[in-house]
Amino acid sequence: MIQQLTLILTLIIIFGCDSKKTSPPQALNRSPVSEALSLTGPFRINEQIKKGGDYLDYLISDVCVNSNDVPISGDPYICPSHRNIRIGERLPYIITDLDASRNARYQMLSSLPVVGTDGKLKILVTKNFQGNFTSSFRYNTNYNKTITGYDLVDPNSSVASFIRTSDGGCFDQLFFHDANKRQGGWPLFAKNLLDGSVRHNILIRRLDPDLPSNCNRIDQALGNTVLTVWNRPVPMKFESGKIMNTIVSYHYAHFDLGRVENALERFFFTKEYGFTRWEAWIPKQKCLTQGGNLSRCDPHAADNILLQRCNPTSPLPGVDSWGGKEWVRVDCRDSTFEVLLSKGTIPLDFSQAATNDVKDVDATFNFLLATEVFDADWYLNHYPDLLAAFGRRNTEAATNHWLQQGATEGRAGHPEFAVRSYLEGSARLRQVFGTRYRDAIIYYASEGILE
């Protein structure tokens, strides 16, 4: 696939390595286990997201909402009222790139809030490279590392940063500031939303047991040579014609911009979509040396394969000068073309960020709190024992009870869904889950509701 090959090429440049859905019966046997330190984490994280108006707006996908603040179908770039999506809500659209010459879409993106295993907010940028995205798209919840990937963002220090990624080159990889510090391994932009830069260390640890032979298993330390630069939000016009306030983060493999053996990845974050666009750059001299393909090294060339999906003049020119050297853009993914879905999706999988038992997120909360299976107000007022224990308005306590106890007991969490009735209606599901009500709820929210 074109999009995979170009992504792998970029990974080689920067780090030296190569870079649906009916569930099979065995998929039902998963038994996800919550690992978050505080079960009230999801409630408090949603309260954190609700505040909005800050750096999180540029990290998390938006959803259109009605007058009751309930998500509805629509493109947040167009709809009059939109906000950050929250844990438990279903995404009613996806964003993709578009190759106009082939009328082809190669990659979808979403930027969803999740609960880290430290109990804190993380943002999981999920990617799918299966192509041909339509309104009937369903995310592959049986994770496939060859057609799906992700970036994991930690927003909890002064500078938001990638701390993990999975791609078609070296698969699952951790980013560290140093051996003892995960935060800041791959900085993106500062929480104060001002211009900034940082020269920093980066340590890469590859986790996948089946690494390609040319991917280094040993921790790769780039030393204090990496440079990240970012700008404050500015209006920018994308391939789709949409104009959005945007933060651009430049990640140079080496701080010496005049160095021929260098590379750049550029990331674009918008208020509407979160992570929106990606670009790969190298010095033109290096580009010509690598293969002599003149059209690849000239974004304006009529036979440049990127011409119809990577405009040579926007949103920023495809040729620039840094460190006294001419640089050229050699790949990009502009995911600003929306596809409205006939059924909303939660594009997460339990295998993401969990390779070799190094687990950074707990996606189960996104499904246990799905709006089709849990309504905190209804749950609190439906059970007299909870009402007596917590009072009429303590939805945080009700949410904690549901996550810690109620779902496992098989209580109903929503007026239109009761897990016991759900299992009674299917001999197949009863055989798989028995009285494991919590797992049955997760299955329904992740896959069963779409069947």
Domain borders along the chain are 2-341, 372-450
Instruction: Please give the mean pLDDT across all residues of the chain.
Output: 87
State the average pLDDT over residues 345-370: 91
pTM of the model: 0.89
pLDDT above 60 for 404: yes
State the average pLDDT over residues 287-300: 83
Looking at residue 9, what is its pLDDT? 33
Looking at residue 20, what is its pLDDT? 29
Looking at residue 296, what is its pLDDT? 83
Looking at residue 292, what is its pLDDT? 63
pLDDT, tens digit, 9 for 90 and up, residues 235-291 = 999 999 999 999 999 999 999 999 999 999 999 999 999 999 999 999 999 999 987
pLDDT, tens digit, 9 for 90 and up, residues 303-350 = 888 888 888 888 999 999 999 999 999 999 999 999 999 999 999 988
Confidence of residue 141 (pLDDT cuts 50, 70, 90): low
Among 58, 62, 59, smallest CA distance to 82 is for: 62
For 29-43, 310-324, 357-371, 384-398, which range has the lowest pLDDT when averaged over its residues? 29-43
